[in-house]
Structure 1
Amino acid sequence: MRFVIYVDDHEPAHVHVYGDGEARINILTGEIMSNRRMSRRDLARALTSVLERKAEFLAAWERQHG
């Protein structure tokens, strides 16, 4: 999976996850903001990764949007 935070993206702080489909996950809450064709299994793995690396993703968001 590839995790991307876009420079000119909108609030709330979120990460785009690409794999077999695409999802957007809120970094702070873990809310799945959207899911485009990502399997339940991959979505669960993506969510786990975002939550485990929450501080890292939030710091990256702040660097780009702070």
Structure 2
Amino acid sequence: MPTILVLFGLRVVVYPNDHRPAHVHVQGNGCEAVFKLCCPDGPPALRENYGFTQKDLARVAEGLARNLAALCAAWRQLHDDY
């Protein structure tokens, strides 16, 4: 699973054999969250959360939104379509 981005020490990954819609897994500190990217225009939306606080999730969502174009491009490179 390629790490696409590192935000605040958390890994943002896209699994090569994953399903649509376009989404990323955010992992670190014993927690994981999944955000739908809502490509190409966003904003990213939380799908699942395992252990992150609401404050952390808001911070991650902002970081994903700032990097949305690159994240959507990485998804397309691995999966062809959103």
TM-score, normalised with respect to structure 1:
0.92
Q: Where in structure 1 are there 5+ consecutive unaligned residues?
A: none
DSSP 3-state at the match of 1:38? coil
The CA deviation string for residues 4-59 of structure 1, in whole angstroms up to 9 with x for no partner, is: 01100111100100123110001114110100111111111111111110000000
- Distance in 2, matches of 1:6 and 1:60, equals 11
Structure number, greater radius of gyration? 2
Contact in 2 for aligned 1:19/1:38 (Cα 8 Å): no
Higher relative contact order (CA 8 A, sep 6+): 1
Partner AA of 1:9 in structure 2: D
Q: What is the match of residue 14 of structure 2?
A: 5
Deviates more, 1:25-34 or 1:55-64: 25-34
Structure 2 unaligned residues grouped into runs of 5+: 1-9
- Give the match's secondary structure for 1:23: strand
Q: Indicate the RMSD between aligned Cα atoms, in angstroms.
A: 1.0
The runs of at least 4 aligned residues of structure 1 exceeding 3 Å deviation read: none
Paired AA for residue 12 in structure 1:
P
Q: Measure, in 2, the Cα distance between the counterparts of 1:11 and 1:37.
A: 24
Aligned length: 66
